[in-house]
Amino acid sequence: MGAGKSTLGPQLAGRLGRPFIDLDRDLEQALGVTIPVFFEQHGESAFRLQEERHAIAALRVADPAVVALGGGAVETDAIRDELRERAFTLLLEVDPATAWERSRGRGRPLARDESEFHSLFERRRELYEEVADAAARDADAAVLAAAGVHVHLGALDELGSLVPADGAAALVSDPHVGGIYGAAAQIALGNRLASVHEVPQGEAAKTATVVERLWSELLLDRRGVVVALGGGSTTDVAGFAAATYLRGIDWVAVPTTLVGQVDAAIGGKTAIDLPQGKNLAGAFHWPARAVIDPATLETLSEEQRLEGMAEVVKTGLLAGAPLWGLPTPELVQQCAAYKAAVCLRDPHDRGDRTVLNLGHTFAHALEAAAGYEGVTHGRAVALGLLAALRLSGRSTDVVEQVLAPKPVRVDRDRAWRALQRDKKARGGEVRLVLLADDGPVVAAQPEVEVRSALDELIAE
């Protein structure tokens, strides 16, 4: 009690697009009296029986919900069993002194004596830690925990403890990242490391040939885990290999680029490219965990950082907040939390998640027209954001000031054909993510306007 569940719960539910169930409030409505009055009239044992019945009913609702349990619910064996079986359980961390100050004088039957309150807190602490799948103190941390995303400085050194389960691990990276962080990752994985695999840098990794080689090299059983260390291309191809090897095994994303940490490694999209377009062969295969260490960004060049800033600006535009101005650790955490929440609402990209493609319809067309050479993803996204903002009737100042993109030299017809193959197209109709007054929307646009906006991104 006093941890702030009734405050954080509605925030988390709103971000995940799920209903919020406050068990104590629901209990009071069902009982017809307040919990303190019920305690006085019937005692704690009678209350726990009522709490057990309502908690189990809440945990068995057909559609996912955010449920705030009373502080003592974990003392009931049946509720703990239900949590293990049916829920992702989040411990909302609070120190006992703060919990006492929030609870005292509010009529709570078990918050009338400070020493007894502290003893109760200590008695329950072990149970809280036993049932909790993760812990958090705020909404961002709660979203990230629910998505299996772990963000903090120094996380790479803790990789061995952060990779879940206990099966053997295969480490996949490109030669550049492997040369910088490969040794640290191998040491952290320790005895779990079964093999090390190398893929090319950049989009060259995302080919059927590379995936086939990984399939043939992997010696894992179904308890094994693929650990993808590197940028978005590495996590894409390694995640796709994991999704299809032995009909699917676990994988862990360890992104070392800004693009990867704020975007590519979150949400379970894995893919390779085809000559006809980007990411046309892939699978939804959510990583068992994404381990994000912002310290790995210190080795990025300014050009590489700018690549990632395109996704940061995109996220800030979607969130309606200037995330691009935050210090790096906070920037990474807030961008990752925004994307994780969207992906949890729509894990298979059938609704809300489409908004994350702001600017990407144009970006993918430019990349495909360049044959995935000479036009980087970040540069293409920056240009795509320009087009999306122009079609939305919005100012392009932030894109021009933060990203300063310049038109690229690619074949216009090839770019247009690639754009028409975009995954959001329906019946040959081009549909784009745009920014409306009340947020992002997906809308069909006149072909002539889209073609004109694309042409503005291509140099003469």
Which of residues 111, 139, 167 is at a domain's end? 139
Looking at the structure, do residues 156 and 114 belong to the same domain, yes or no?
A: no
Structural domain contains residue 310: no
Beta-strand relationship, 250-255 and 225-230: parallel
Residues 6+ apart with CB under 8 A from 436: 392
CATH number of the domain bearing residue 64: 3.40.50.300
Q: How many CA atoms lie within 13 A of 91 on its CB side?
A: 17
Euclidean distance between CA atoms 49 and 27, whole angstroms: 11
User: Phi/psi of residue 36, each to 5°?
Assistant: -60, -40
In this prediction, residues 60-71 reach a mean pLDDT of: 93
| DSSP one-letter code for 247 | G
Looking at the structure, do residues 99 and 171 belong to the same domain, yes or no?
A: no
Looking at the structure, do residues 68 and 129 belong to the same domain, yes or no?
A: yes
Within a 10 A sphere around the Cβ of 256, how many other Cβ atoms? 27
Q: Name which of 20-29, 71-80, 204-213, 417-426 the model is least confident about.
A: 417-426
Beta-strand relationship, 277-284 and 269-274: antiparallel
pLDDT of residue 82: 96
Structural domain contains residue 346: no
Q: DSSP of 117-182, one letter per residue? A: HHHHHHHHHHHHHHH-SEEESSHHHHHHHHTTEEE-TTGGGGHHHHS-SSS-EEEEE-HHHIIIII
Q: Helix 328-345 vs helix 5-16: angle between axes, to the nearest 10 degrees?
A: 70
Residues 6+ apart with CB under 8 A from 442: 354, 355, 424, 431, 432, 433, 434
pLDDT of residue 235: 97
Residue 427 pLDDT exceeds 80 = no
Residue 428 pLDDT exceeds 80 = no
115-139 pLDDT tens trace: 999 999 999 999 999 999 999 999 9
Beta-strand relationship, 250-255 and 277-284: unpaired
Euclidean distance between CA atoms 308 and 265, whole angstroms: 12
In this prediction, residues 247-275 reach a mean pLDDT of: 95
In this prediction, residues 330-348 reach a mean pLDDT of: 96
| DSSP one-letter code for 395 | -
CA nearest 25: which of 55, 46, 65? 55
Structural domain contains residue 206: yes
Q: What percent of the chain has pLDDT over 90?
A: 85
CB contact at 8 A, 144 and 151: yes
Within a 10 A sphere around the Cβ of 320, how many other Cβ atoms? 10
Structural domain contains residue 198: yes
Token pair, residue 377, equals 């993803």
End-to-end CA distance of the chain: 65
pLDDT of residue 278: 77
- List the Cα angle 436/442/448 in 5-degree steps: 90
Structural domain contains residue 325: no
Euclidean distance between CA atoms 214 and 204, whole angstroms: 14
Residue 165 pLDDT exceeds 90 = no
> 């994000």: which residue's tokens?
292
pLDDT of residue 419: 92
Looking at the structure, do residues 202 and 228 belong to the same domain, yes or no?
A: yes
In this prediction, residues 411-437 reach a mean pLDDT of: 85
Euclidean distance between CA atoms 370 and 203, whole angstroms: 12
Looking at the structure, do residues 50 and 123 belong to the same domain, yes or no?
A: yes
29-40 pLDDT tens trace: 999 999 989 998
- Helix (H), strand (E) at residue 439: strand 439-444
* Number of domains comprising the chain: 3
Looking at the structure, do residues 132 and 253 belong to the same domain, yes or no?
A: no
**Could you tell me the pLDDT band of residue 106, with boundaries at 50, 70 and 90?**
confident
Looking at the structure, do residues 291 and 221 belong to the same domain, yes or no?
A: yes
- Helix (H), strand (E) at residue 47: helix 44-59
Token pair, residue 101, equals 């100050």
Residue 286 pLDDT exceeds 90 = yes
pLDDT of residue 107: 80
Domain coverage including residue 414:
352-455
Q: Is the dihedral of CA 180, 181, 182, 188 positive or negative?
A: positive
Which of residues 139, 161, 190 is at a domain's end? 139
Structural domain contains residue 166: yes
Mean pLDDT of the chain: 94
Structural domain contains residue 344: no
Looking at the structure, do residues 76 and 169 belong to the same domain, yes or no?
A: no
CA nearest 125: which of 150, 107, 99, 149? 99
**Could you tell me the pLDDT band of residue 426, with boundaries at 50, 70 and 90?**
low
Amino acid at site 122? E
**Could you tell me the pLDDT band of residue 244, with boundaries at 50, 70 and 90?**
very high
Euclidean distance between CA atoms 5 and 176, whole angstroms: 45
pLDDT of residue 422: 75
CA–CA distance from 283 to each of 117, 203, 272, 295, 412 (Å)? 50, 17, 10, 30, 30
Euclidean distance between CA atoms 255 and 234, whole angstroms: 9
Looking at the structure, do residues 98 and 192 belong to the same domain, yes or no?
A: no
CB contact at 8 A, 142 and 198: no
H-type alpha helices, 87-113 = 96-103
Looking at the structure, do residues 156 and 85 belong to the same domain, yes or no?
A: no
Structural domain contains residue 31: yes
Which of residues 89, 120, 139 is at a domain's end? 139
**Could you tell me the pLDDT band of residue 425, with boundaries at 50, 70 and 90?**
low
Looking at the structure, do residues 135 and 59 belong to the same domain, yes or no?
A: yes
Looking at the structure, do residues 99 and 177 belong to the same domain, yes or no?
A: no
CATH number of the domain bearing residue 365: 1.20.1090.10
Beta-strand relationship, 269-274 and 250-255: unpaired
> 């909404």: which residue's tokens?
139
172-196 pLDDT tens trace: 999 999 999 999 999 999 999 999 9
Euclidean distance between CA atoms 101 and 143, whole angstroms: 26
